[in-house]
């Protein structure tokens, strides 16, 4: 298959980042497994099929773990301006050796890092999409979030296999959004603000700028802003200290199981607290 080979440096937990994306995939829009990820997306004024899969680097031996990915758009090579987005989606430019080495200086992370070297921070192809996904998923399970987002995508985009735009959420969101009235109002309010240009969310923002803009919106708090920063900006030093899954993982390692306690302990993990968060999530989900 013709495509674009995107390399990275070892260690590279490619299977892990693909599992994360597959575990959050929206039915009808995305699919994947530990070997790759597929979705439909808007590109060049049309609907395009994106696929990325693990692939050995050109100089890798037959027994080597894959340390590259092969990416295609409609079965061919990626346009140059899409390469950066895919590299961000899979965190291919992370200095994993430095991240692992720094985290492993804390004895509690020695075994987790050894078990999952080269853990990568899953990104997002579109910051607006990531914000809506995060807002819809607040306080419900990942499985429920996937189901709800699949339904919303079908109702707003038909059989196109696309995720709705801010304009579509603004125009018809009140018809398809369900749940607590406060959450519906937040999502619709964000859609109106994005569609009108009142709220601008883009990859060029700093974490501080993104956080300030998001928490100024009614119904958006620090957890949402932090998670969107991790996924949409690739923020490497975010700790979601109030996250219940993170606190469960922390407790399993014998770390403080309270937001204040884990925040104080996490100071030593800076500037890689987002990667520590990923390790703690994995530990919690394995229990």
| CA-based R_g, the chain, Å | 19
Average pLDDT, the chain: 95
**Per-residue 3-state assignment (H helix, E strand, C coil) for 202-226:** CCCCCHHHHHHHHHCCCCCCHHHHH
Residues in the chain, overall count: 287
- Tell me the pLDDT tens digit for each residue of 41-73: 999 889 999 999 999 766 655 545 568 999 999
Ramachandran area for residue 286 (φ above 0: left; ψ -120 to 50: alpha; else beta):
alpha
- Tell me the pLDDT tens digit for each residue of 11-52: 999 999 999 999 999 999 999 999 999 999 999 889 999 999
* CB contact at 8 A, 275 and 119: yes
Share of the chain above pLDDT 90, in %: 93
- Residue range 207-225: average pLDDT? 97
pTM of the model: 0.94
- Tell me the pLDDT tens digit for each residue of 163-172: 999 999 999 9
Domains of the chain by residue range: 4-91, 94-121+235-287, 127-233
Residues sharing a CB contact under 8 Å with residue 208, sequence separation 6 or more, in sequence order: none
- Residue range 136-155: average pLDDT? 96
Q: How far is CA 123 from CA 185, 223, 228, 275, in A?
A: 26, 17, 9, 12
- Tell me the pLDDT tens digit for each residue of 222-266: 999 999 999 999 999 999 999 999 999 999 999 999 999 999 999
Return the sign of the alpha-carbon dihedral for residues 54, 93, 203, 135.
positive
Q: Please list the residues that pair with 139 across neighbouring strands.
A: none
Q: Is 33 exposed, middle or buried (0-12, 13-18, 19+ CB in 10 A)?
A: middle
Q: What is the pLDDT of residue 207?
A: 97
Query: How many C-beta atoms surround the C-beta of residue 16 within 10 A?
Result: 18
| pLDDT exceeds cutoff 90 at 88 | yes
**CATH superfamily placement of domain 4-91:** DNA-3-methyladenine glycosylase AlkA, N-terminal domain (3.30.310.20)
Query: Per CATH, which fold does 94-121+235-287 belong to?
Result: Endonuclease Iii, domain 2 (1.10.1670)
Which CATH entry fits the domain spanning 127-233: 3.40.50.2300, 3.40.50.1110, 1.10.340.30, 2.130.10.10?
1.10.340.30
């Amino acid at each position: 298959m013709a495509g674009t080979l995107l390399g990275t440096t070892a260690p590279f937990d490619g299977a892990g980042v693909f599992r994360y994306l597959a575990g959050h995939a929206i039915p009808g829009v995305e699919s994947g497994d530990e070997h790759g990820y597929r979705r439909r997306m808007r590109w060049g004024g049309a609907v395009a099929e994106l696929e990325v899969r693990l692939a050995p680097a050109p100089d890798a031996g037959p027994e080597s773990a894959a340390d590259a990915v092969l990416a295609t758009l409609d079965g061919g090579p990626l346009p140059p301006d899409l390469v950066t987005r895919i590299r961000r989606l899979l965190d291919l430019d992370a200095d994993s050796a430095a991240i692992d080495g720094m985290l492993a200086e804390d004895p509690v992370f020695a075994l987790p890092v050894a078990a999952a070297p080269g853990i990568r921070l899953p990104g997002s192809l579109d910051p607006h999409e990531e914000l809506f996904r995060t807002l819809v998923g607040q306080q419900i399970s990942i499985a429920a979030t996937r189901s709800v987002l699949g339904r919303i995508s079908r109702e707003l985009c038909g059989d196109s296999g696309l995720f709705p735009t801010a304009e579509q959420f603004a125009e018809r969101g009140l018809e398809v959004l369900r749940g607590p009235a406060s959450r519906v109002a937040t999502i619709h309010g964000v859609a109106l603000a994005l569609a009108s240009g009142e709220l601008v969310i883009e990859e060029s923002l700093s974490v501080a700028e993104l956080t300030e803009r998001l928490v100024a919106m009614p119904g958006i708090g620090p957890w949402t802003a932090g998670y969107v920063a991790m996924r949409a900006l690739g923020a490497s030093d975010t700790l979601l200290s109030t996250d219940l899954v993170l606190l469960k993982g922390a407790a399993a390692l014998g770390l403080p199981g309270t937001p204040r306690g884990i925040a104080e302990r996490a100071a030593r993990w800076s500037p890689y607290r987002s990667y520590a968060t990923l390790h703690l999530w994995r530990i919690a989900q394995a229990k």
